[in-house]
Each structure stands twice: as structure tokens, then as C-alpha cells.
């Protein structure tokens, strides 16, 4: 409770430097609260992956670009798209990208005990839109259990997404503890039609998040989700990050199929992991290998930290600004449990929702300016950097090498 109060104080006062001790404690809480082998391509698989990459063509009529290259001149593309679909005064969300569906996958044991606040905020939001909502019980859903034999929750969730993606144009997959804090947004604001899968980085550790993502109904996206789920049977037995750990190298393999030596280096680091700190060395390796690129046409886009449709609410003690849409980490059934004071003064009455801001009872002191949120995120970013595990500050091309295992054929796939 004391930590929460101090975080809130930082947010309210807009201090330029957060207390390093508190930031460190908050970082530790994130690790505890928010918290599973990578196959190497055969020669045939490498060749096939490379050929698939060469054959990807994206019609400019489909993506709204002059050509299929992503260059500096395209940097404002999504901003223009977002402006054209931005929700105004709780008005309609125009289906400019076709049918959009939200999927939340749960299991009976946890859903009966948690997530009411998050799920009620989502239901209230949906009453003012035309999006389709799917609450999928992974224990009992017939379609999922016919096609997904996975017995680990998170991997089965991605298989379920691949199944239901067939029924829509775009599928937003959400964790059950992700809730809407500001309904004056449309999902279309974060859809980028240049790609088939959209992810974002978690703010506190730079990891590509696995719980919340957007998928397009394409063969690439469905294959990506299904093979991601099938990693359940291939994941290493050490501390590996489960589906989140798998996602890092799964994306690397999908977008840079020719980076075999680099991927094998990250794989070795991953397999050596024995805890969170060494796991983060693997995450760093993948991030270094991916470089500054965040969009691979026809494949994947990764939003920078704090720029996606959802972020962890604890970053700002659940304070929010107009730019925010969803916050993640709302596990409790009601406000006030374990000292958690949600952004809402009282529980949702879904019957009130559907017209304008009716049904949204915000705490006045939780809504703040964009500048205050920026300052809070900047402070947290500084603390996260200071407290980032030393063993995770790796330079894979120095510690693992990049030509010793493949010379003189390292560039054969380029």
C-alpha cells in the first residue's frame, strides 16, 4: 500500500526524478506480479523460409502506399490513418477495415474469481460500438477443443485465436485483466493494414508482449498463431518465459529468416537461462538482433513501449490521460480489494452503458494530462533502465560470436 501511495504521489506532483528505491521496488513488484527450446532450421527449412520472404508482395492498393517499401517517407502513414478513424465524442467506430472481433480466452477456475472490473469495463465499452465480442472458455469450447490439443493455458489461447480468426477480418486478442479506461477510442486507430500481426513492447522490460495483440485473417497470421501455440511441445524446460519467451524468437524467425547465426546465438542464451535475470539476457539478444526496425510489411508490426492500445496500469498508478485506451493488470473483481483503487468510483452497471459516457464513473483525480503521464513514464523508464539486470546487458555478437559456427556460409541466405 505504501508503494502505491508513493507512486501516486509521483504522478500527482509530476516530479522530474522518481525515488530510485521506490522505482526499484515497483520494478520488483512487476516481475513477481506479472510473472517456460527453440528449434533450429534445417537446410530445407531455411531455404523455404527465405523463398517465402522473397515472394511476399503487398499491393499498394491494399496498404495505401506508393510501393511496398517502408521508408522514412512512410513514417506518418499510421498517424494519418489513425486521424481518419479516431473516435470523436463517443461517436461511432467506422468499420473501415471490415469486421473487428475482440477475443478474451479464459478458464473456469480463474474467471470465477477474478477480472470483473476489467471485463465489465470492456462490456460497457462494447455497448457503444459494433464490435463482435467472444468470451472463449478454453475448458469447454467445442471448436477449440476439437482443433487445439494443448494443455497449457497460454499456448492453447493462441491456438484458439487461430481458430476464431477465420470468422472475422481482424481479431483483437486480450488478456482477461485488460480493461478499458477511456472508451473514446476505436480499435481501428491501432490497426495497420501494412501488416498481418500487431504486437507491442512491455514498458518495464522491453519484452514483446504476448497477452494482447491484433491479428488479420490471412494465411500468414493463422500459421503464425498455430505454430506459436505448438511451441508448447518444443519449449525448453528451464526458466523460459512460457509463451512470452517463445514469442520473442518466433517473431525473430518469422521476420528475419536469414538471420540464422544470430537466432542460434539468442537460442543458446535462452536455453542457459535459470531465472528472470538470465531470461532477460535472451530478450535483449532478440531485441538487439531485430534492431531499430519495427515494421515488416506483410508480416509484423511492433509498437514501441507506451504506444500500443494497452499498457500496464501500474506504470502510472492507474492514472490515465485522453491518449490512453486500455490498461492491463486489473485482476480484482471489484475496487478496493487489497488496496487497489481502480480508476472508477463504483462498480459498472452495464444497463447504464451505451450512450456517450453514461455508465463511466471515473475518479476525478485519476484522469490527468498527457504531460503528467509522459513525465511518469519517463521516470519509470529511467528506473527500469537503472534496475535492469546486469547479466541481461548482453552484446550477443561479442559473447556468442556470429560467424564461428557458420563460416564461410553465413551469408548464403542473404
Q: Please determine, for residue 28, whether its predicted confidence score (pLDDT) is greater than 70.
A: no
**Pairing, β 213-216 against β 295-296:** unpaired
Higher pLDDT residue, 173 or 81? 173
| Structure confidence at residue 402 (pLDDT) | 84
* Burial classification of residue 351, based on how many CB atoms lie within 10 Å of its CB (0-12 exposed, 13-18 middle, 19 or more buried): exposed
Q: Please determine, for residue 35, whether its predicted confidence score (pLDDT) is greater than 80.
A: no
| Structure confidence at residue 66 (pLDDT) | 29
Q: Of 74-78, 99-103, 387-391, 393-397, which range is least confident? A: 74-78
| Structure confidence at residue 68 (pLDDT) | 37
**CA atoms within a 13 Å half-sphere pointing along the CA-CB vector of 11:** 23
- This prediction has a pTM of 0.82
What cell was used for 38? Answer: 527453440
Q: Please determine, for residue 146, whether its predicted confidence score (pLDDT) is greater than 50.
A: yes
Report the mean per-residue pLDDT for the chain. Answer: 85
Q: Which of 384, 107, 297, 329 is nearest to 209 (CA)?
A: 329
Tell me the torsion sign for CA atoms 280, 283, 288, 289: positive
| Homologous superfamily of 37-371+388-399 | Spore Coat Polysaccharide Biosynthesis Protein SpsA; Chain A (3.90.550.10)
The separation between CA 296 and the C-alpha centre of its own chain, rounded to angstroms, equals: 17
What is the rounded CA–CA span in Å between residue 296 and residue 259?
A: 14
- Hunting for cell 444497463 — which residue is that? 351
Q: Please determine, for residue 79, whether its predicted confidence score (pLDDT) is greater than 80.
A: no
| Structure confidence at residue 75 (pLDDT) | 52
- Hunting for cell 492453447 — which residue is that? 156
pLDDT band at 399 (very low <50, low <70, confident <90, very high): confident
Q: What is the DSSP letter of 257?
A: T
Calculate what percentage of the chain has a pLDDT beyond 90.
Answer: 73
Which CA distances in Å does 372 have to 16, 20, 203, 205?
Answer: 10, 19, 17, 21
Amino acid at each position: 500500500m505504501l508503494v502505491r501511495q508513493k507512486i501516486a504521489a509521483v504522478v500527482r506532483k509530476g516530479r522530474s526524478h522518481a525515488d530510485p528505491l521506490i522505482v526499484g521496488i515497483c520494478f520488483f513488484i512487476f516481475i513477481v506480479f506479472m510473472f517456460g527450446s527453440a528449434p533450429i532450421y534445417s537446410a530445407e527449412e531455411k531455404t523455404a523460409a527465405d523463398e517465402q520472404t522473397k515472394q511476399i508482395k503487398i499491393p499498394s492498393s491494399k496498404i495505401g502506399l506508393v510501393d511496398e517499401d517502408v521508408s522514412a517517407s512512410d513514417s506518418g502513414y499510421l498517424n494519418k490513418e489513425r486521424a481518419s478513424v479516431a473516435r470523436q465524442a463517443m461517436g461511432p467506430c467506422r468499420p473501415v477495415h471490415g469486421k473487428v472481433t475482440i477475443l478474451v480466452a479464459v478458464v473456469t477456475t480463474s474467471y470465477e474469481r477474478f477480472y470483473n472490473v476489467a471485463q465489465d469495463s470492456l462490456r460497457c465499452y462494447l455497448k457503444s460500438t459494433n464490435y463482435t465480442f467472444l468470451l472463449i472458455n478454453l475448458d469447454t469450447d467445442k471448436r477449440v477443443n476439437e482443433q487445439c490439443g494443448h494443455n497449457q493455458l497460454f499456448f492453447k489461447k493462441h491456438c484458439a485465436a487461430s481458430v476464431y480468426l477465420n470468422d472475422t477480418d481482424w481479431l483483437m486478442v486480450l488478456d482477461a485483466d485488460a480493461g478499458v479506461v477511456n472508451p473514446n477510442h476505436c480499435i481501428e486507430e491501432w490497426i495497420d493494414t501494412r501488416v498481418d500481426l500487431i504486437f507491442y513492447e512491455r514498458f518495464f522490460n522491453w519484452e514483446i508482449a504476448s497477452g494482447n495483440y491484433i491479428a488479420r485473417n490471412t494465411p500468414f497470421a493463422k500459421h503464425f498463431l498455430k505454430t506459436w501455440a505448438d511451441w508448447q511441445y518444443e519449449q525448453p524446460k528451464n526458466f523460459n518465459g512460457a509463451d512470452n519467451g517463445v514469442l520473442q524468437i518466433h517473431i525473430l524467425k518469422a521476420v528475419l529468416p536469414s538471420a540464422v547465426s544470430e537466432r542460434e546465438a539468442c537460442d543458446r542464451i535462452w536455453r542457459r537461462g535459470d531465472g528472470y535475470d538470465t531470461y532477460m539476457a535472451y530478450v535483449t539478444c532478440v531485441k538487439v538482433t531485430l534492431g531499430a526496425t519495427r515494421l515488416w510489411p506483410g508480416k509484423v508490426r511492433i509498437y514501441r513501449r507506451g504506444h500500443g492500445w494497452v499498457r500496464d496500469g501500474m506504470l502510472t498508478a492507474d492514472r490515465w490521460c485522453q491518449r490512453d485506451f486500455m490498461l492491463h493488470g486489473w485482476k480484482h473483481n471489484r475496487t478496493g480489494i487489497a488496496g487497489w483503487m481502480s480508476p472508477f468510483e463504483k462498480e459498472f452497471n452495464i444497463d447504464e452503458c451505451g450512450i456517450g459516457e453514461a455508465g463511466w464513473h471515473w475518479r476525478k483525480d485519476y484522469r490527468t494530462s498527457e504531460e503528467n503521464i509522459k513525465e511518469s513514464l519517463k521516470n519509470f523508464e529511467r528506473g527500469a533502465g537503472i534496475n535492469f539486470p546486469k547479466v541481461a546487458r548482453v552484446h550477443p555478437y561479442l559473447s556468442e560470436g556470429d560467424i564461428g559456427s557458420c563460416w564461410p556460409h553465413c551469408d548464403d541466405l542473404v
